[in-house]
Structure 1
Amino acid sequence: MIQRVQSIFLFLVAAAMGVTLGMDLWHQVIADSGESFTLTALFLEKYDNSGEVILSESKWYIAALASFVGFLAIISIFQYRNRGRQMMLNMVNSLLMVGLVATIFLTTNGINSELGANDNGQYQIGFWAVLAAMVCNMLANRFIRKDEALVRSVDRIR
C-alpha cells in the first residue's frame, strides 16, 4: 500500500532533490576582489562587485544526478508489492546520493584550489537538502525492513 510511512520518506527524498535542483548549493565570496561564485545544480556563476554575471559554466551533471535520484525515489514508492526490489532501489539511491555529495564537494574544492581562497565558502540549502534526503532514504529502508520482518513473522505463524 502506498500510504505507508516509508512512502512518506521516499516522497521527502524526491522533494529534497527538487530543493537541490532549485536552490543554490554553494557560495563563495573573494574578499580581495569582491567577486563571488555561486554553484547551483545547473551552473557555476561568477559575479563581479556590482552583482553582474561575468562567467557562467554549465554543471549539468549535478542536475542530472539529482534528477535521477528523485526519479528513482518516485519509482521506489510504487514498488510496494516487492519489498526486496524497493530496498535494492533505495540502496542504489543511497550510493547515487553519496556520489552527488562527492561531486558537489569535489567541484567546490576544485574551484577553491583554482582561486587559492583562504576559506572554503558556504554550503547553501541545496547541499543540505541532499544530506536530508540521505537520512530520509535511510529511514525509508529501515521501515521497509520492518515491514518485511512483520510479513515473514506472520507467514511463520500460518
Structure 2
Amino acid sequence: MIQRIQTLYMFIAAVLIGSLFGLPFAEIVANNELFLFNIKGISQNGELVNNGLPIMLFIGLILLLHVVAIFLYKKRVTQMRVLTFTIILLLGLFGMFYFFTYYDFKGADISFKLSVVFPLIAIVMDYLAIRNIGKDEALIRSVNRIR
C-alpha cells in the first residue's frame, strides 16, 4: 500500500484538501469593508455574514473519499472510480468558491489566497494516481494471462 506511488499522490491530495480547514480562501473588499472567506463562511470583524457549512461538508466529503481511496488498494478498479468521483467533486468545489465569492458581492475587490489552488493541485494528483493505478491493473491482468 505505502510503497506504491499512487498512494503517495492520494496522500498529498488528502493533505492539501485537509489544509483547507485551516487556511483562508479569499479576502473581499466591498463598500470599503473587509470580509474574510474561510471554511466557516464569509465573516466581517468576526461576525458571520454567510454560513460556510455547505463548503465545510463538501471539503469533508472530498477528504473522506481520499482516505477511503487510499485504503482501497486491493480493489484497484473501485479505487479509480472513487478518485474519478473525487475529481468531479473537486471541480464542483471550484464552483462553490465562485458562487460564495461573487454571489453577494457584485463589483467587489476580491483577492484569492494560495489555498484556492489546492483543489487544482489535488485534481492533478488524483489524475496521476488514476494513471498509475491503471498501469498496475494492466500489469496484473497481463501476468494473469501468462498463467
Q: Which residue number in structure 2 is paired with residue 38 of structure 1?
A: 36
Aligned pair partner of 2:105 in 92, 112, 131: 112
The AA in structure 2 aligned to 1:53 is: G
Q: Can you list the C-alpha shifts for 1:5-30, whole angstroms capped at 9, x where unaligned?
A: 11111111111111111101111224
| Match runs of 1:79-158 below 5 Å | 79-113=72-106, 116-117=107-108, 119=109, 121-158=110-147
Q: Which residue number in structure 2 is paired with residue 6 of structure 1?
A: 6
TM-score of the pair, normalised by structure 2: 0.91
In structure 2, do the counterparts of structure 1 residues 53 and 152 end up closer, same or farther at CA, with 3 Å as the change threshold? same
Deviation at 1:4, TM superposition (A): 0.7
Percent sequence identity is 31
SS of match in other structure, 2:21: helix
RMSD: 1.6
TM-score of the pair, normalised by structure 1: 0.85
SS of match in other structure, 1:122: strand
Residues 2, 80 of structure 1: 8 Å contact kept: no
Deviation at 1:144, TM superposition (A): 0.5
Q: Take 2:49 and 2:100, find their aligned partners in 1: how far apart are those partners?
A: 14
Deviation at 1:126, TM superposition (A): 2.2
Unaligned 5+ segments in structure 1 are 47-51
Residues 2, 78 of structure 1: 8 Å contact kept: no
The AA in structure 2 aligned to 1:100 is: L
The count of residues paired between Structure 1 and Structure 2 equals 147
Q: Can you list the C-alpha shifts for 1:77-105, whole angstroms capped at 9, x where unaligned?
A: 11111101101110111111111111111
Aligned pair partner of 1:72 in 65, 73, 79: 65
